[in-house]
Amino acid sequence: MKYRLSLPLSLLAAVLLSGGITLLALWCQPNSFRGLLSGFLRQPLLIVLNALPIGLLVLAAAALFRNVFFGAALVNLAAGALSIANRVKIEVRDEPVFPRDFALLKEVGSALESYDIRFPVPQIAAVVLVTAALLALGALVGCEPFPVKSLRGWVGSLLGFAAGFAALTGLIFTLYASRDLYQSFHVSNAEYVPAVFNDLGFPYAFCHHFTTYLVDRPEGFSRAEAEGWETGDLPGQGKAVSVVMVMNEAFSDITDADVFSFSEEDDPLPNLHALREDPHALSGHVIVPGFAGGTANTEFDVLTGMQTNALSASTTSAMRVVNRNLDSLFRVFGNDGYETSFFHPGDNWFYNRENVYRWFGAEETRFVGDMEAPEYKGRWVTDDYAAGLIEEDFEQAEGPLFHFTTTIQNHMSYTADKYGPDYDFPPTGVPGLSEEVETLLNVYVEGLRDADAMLGRLWNYFNTREEPMVLVYWGDHLPYLGNDMLGYKQLGLDVAPGPEGQENLAAYQTPFVIWANAAAAEALDWENAVEALDLKETVSACFLGAAVLELTGRGEESPWFSFLNQLRRELPVVQKTVCQLPDGSMTEELGPEQQDLLQKWRRWSYYKLQYKEVP
């Protein structure tokens, strides 16, 4: 005879089973289970946040099956499978499982073939055995009928399931969506997403990320229409000129402002100023996605031609949005037979670069862990060392090279001990600054000098080479100089981002220079190529890569990048809701043709991110 639990006992069983399932899911994580529980005891709210979604799912499934053990068996299997998948993904790709991964289930088969996966047999066995035990208990122990007779049938089951699921959905978009709550907990490394998942618990972190890294579907999007835009690739038209692109951390020309009075001898940017006057140089400013941060977003914009700020109405991380092969500069040059490489003297997990650059199509990636005897100045690898790696990569290339480096030396914070306790920073000589701002500025400008020296070293090196090459050098964002724009206010520089619709481009403006050595200038017919390029002094970062393709004769190789150059000529700067026209004026009011171009750009970007299959 089947034993039946009363409603109070069924609810108690649901609570206890939810706790057990939560513990099993946490045990499946790749980090120390004992260390995790120790952290939870110091931050007990994490216990609730991890158990609550599982508890609601158990209640919902119990109502559906009218048996708490059957419901718990289903939830245990699902939670255990997700937690094990998270463990495997972290171990093989150094990236946790996100809700958006459900859209990539068809790619799991190819992923399994691409990696040497060691499945966690004890964890898999535990999940399977517990699920089987719960099913057996469900067969032996039932639940008494619901007291309300009209709710005992399938209608009541569906209503109960819907109520539990609705409650969880509401929490995901309110409590679990809270960034402030998520960031309030202590974690071992806030910048390393797998560590955050491990420290906060997979169930909580997974639920939080339902509302992060969003990509909005543009109004009027048609997949069939976007597919039609993807025709007409014509590789092989460009000139065989190597291209080296260097995005230097926090590189800016704020020291050119009138408030500074550097002499020719102590100018922090002598090479930038000299290179701007070179007859084979093209210079100006790029408008980057963010102020005082967001390095990877600028990388994404330059390399893909998409724009971080247009992906979602909410703040997003472009690199975290990427989860599939994408068209990029690496692929255009690679299709022309170039060797392609990306170097970054930082950790490979930062901004998920290890995976993203593989999806971008870079043949070789090299991070600090792959570099031999890296040289440091304080905490970060020096720009001079990075320059040496670029020269080495160029010399080892057997043919034309497309190379991209993101530096790190001048990364914040700009504290007095950045380069060691006894480092003597040359003063910037600006009177009337507070001690805090003077320190920030002195430390930042020291890094700026090294960034400019890197530019000078590369300029001199490539000037001696007989192989044709083009150097592109720019900054990822302005430096952070204190809370509430403190440093900029004391310098009298108006770089506050401004409210929506009144964007201050000065907040996003960094210098760029494109230079060709003598052999490249001859191969490209430099003067005529620059005139035809029609590149304005100020241009959005998302158009910089496309401009380089056109400059090297590849303007028509890719329909996507060809379209970007068309858009650039109509709207050189697009920054959130404002645009800069070719005459330099700013506007929010665009004509019908310009609006159509913007809409096409955003719809096409969405198609590439969500649907296009790139081999």
202, 247: one domain? no
Q: Quick one: 253 and 396 in the same domain?
A: yes
Q: Which of 211, 230, 253 is the last residue of a domain?
A: 211
Are residues 188 and 42 part of one domain?
yes
Q: Assess if residue 202 is contained within a domain.
A: yes
The predicted pLDDT at position 525 comes to 97
Q: What is the pLDDT of residue 601?
A: 98
In degrees and rounded to multiples of 5, residue 538 shows phi and psi of -120, 130
Which has the closest alpha carbon to 347: 189, 118, 116?
A: 189
Query: Residue 149 has what pLDDT?
Result: 61
Residue 110 has pLDDT above 90, yes or no: no
Same domain, 439 and 507: yes
- C-beta pairs of 588-597 under 8 Å, 24+ apart in sequence: 588/501, 594/570, 597/566, 597/567, 597/570, 597/571
pLDDT for the residue 115 = 53
pLDDT at 520 over 90: yes
Q: Taking phi first (over 0 means left), then psi (-120 to 50 degrees means alpha), and beta for anything else, what does residue 91 get? A: alpha
Place of tokens 């399931």: 161
Our count of domains for the chain comes to: 2
Query: Span 279-286, mean pLDDT?
Result: 98
**Residue 219 is assigned to a structural domain of this protein:** no
**What mean pLDDT do residues 307-316 have?**
86
Residue 234 domain flag: no
Whether 222 maps to a domain, the answer reads no
- Rounded Cα–Cα distance for residues 492 and 473 (Å): 27
Residue at 371 is within a domain: yes
pLDDT score at 107: 47
> What would you report as the CA-atom Rg of the chain, rounded to the nearest whole angstrom?
28
Average pLDDT over residues 293-308: 96
165 and 123 co-located in one domain: yes
By three-state DSSP, how is residue 382 classified? coil
Which pLDDT belongs to residue 600?
98
Instruction: Identify whether residues 151 and 298 lie together within a single domain.
Output: no
Chain centroid to CA 563: 24
Q: Over 60: is that where the pLDDT of 280 sits?
A: yes
pLDDT of residue 157: 82
Where is pLDDT greater, at 375 or 11? Answer: 375
- Across all residues in the chain, what is the average pLDDT? 92
| pLDDT value of residue 101 | 78
Q: What is the pLDDT of residue 105?
A: 53
- Model confidence band, residue 95 (pLDDT cutoffs 50, 70, 90): confident
Cβ neighbours of residue 481 under 8 Å, at least 6 residues apart?
292, 414, 437, 440, 441, 444, 487, 488
Return d(Cα 554, Cα 333) in angstroms, integer.
9
Do 322 and 207 have their domain in common?
no
> What are 468's two structure tokens?
């044709």
In a domain, 14, yes or no: yes
> At residue 111, does pLDDT exceed 70?
no
Tokens linked to 578? 């404002």
Q: What residue numbers bound the domain in which 114 lies?
A: 3-211
Residues 191 and 320 placed together within one structural domain of the fold: no
Q: Are residues 275 and 172 in the same domain?
A: no
- Asked if 444 and 481 sit in the same domain, the reply is yes
Residue 217 DSSP class: P
Q: How far apart are CA 334 and CA 323, in angstroms?
A: 20
What distance lies between CA 380 and its chain's CA centroid? 20
Q: Do 205 and 245 belong to one domain?
A: no
Say if CB 46 and CB 204 are below 8 A apart.
yes
Instruction: Tell me the CATH number at 393.
Output: 3.40.720.10
- Identify the residue with better confidence: 366 or 499: 366
Residue 436: inside a domain: yes
Give me the mean pLDDT over the 187-205 stretch: 90
Same domain for 198 and 243: no
Distance of CA 123 to the CA centre of its chain: 31
> What are the backbone angles phi and psi of residue 553, rounded to the nearest 5°?
90, 15
How large a percentage of the chain has pLDDT more than 70? 96
Residue 223 placed within a domain? no
Other beta carbons less than 10 A from residue 158's beta carbon: 12
Report the pLDDT value the prediction gives residue 5, as an integer from 0 to 100. 85
Note the pLDDT tens digit of each residue in 217-273.
999 999 999 999 998 889 999 999 999 999 999 999 999 999 999 998 999 999 999
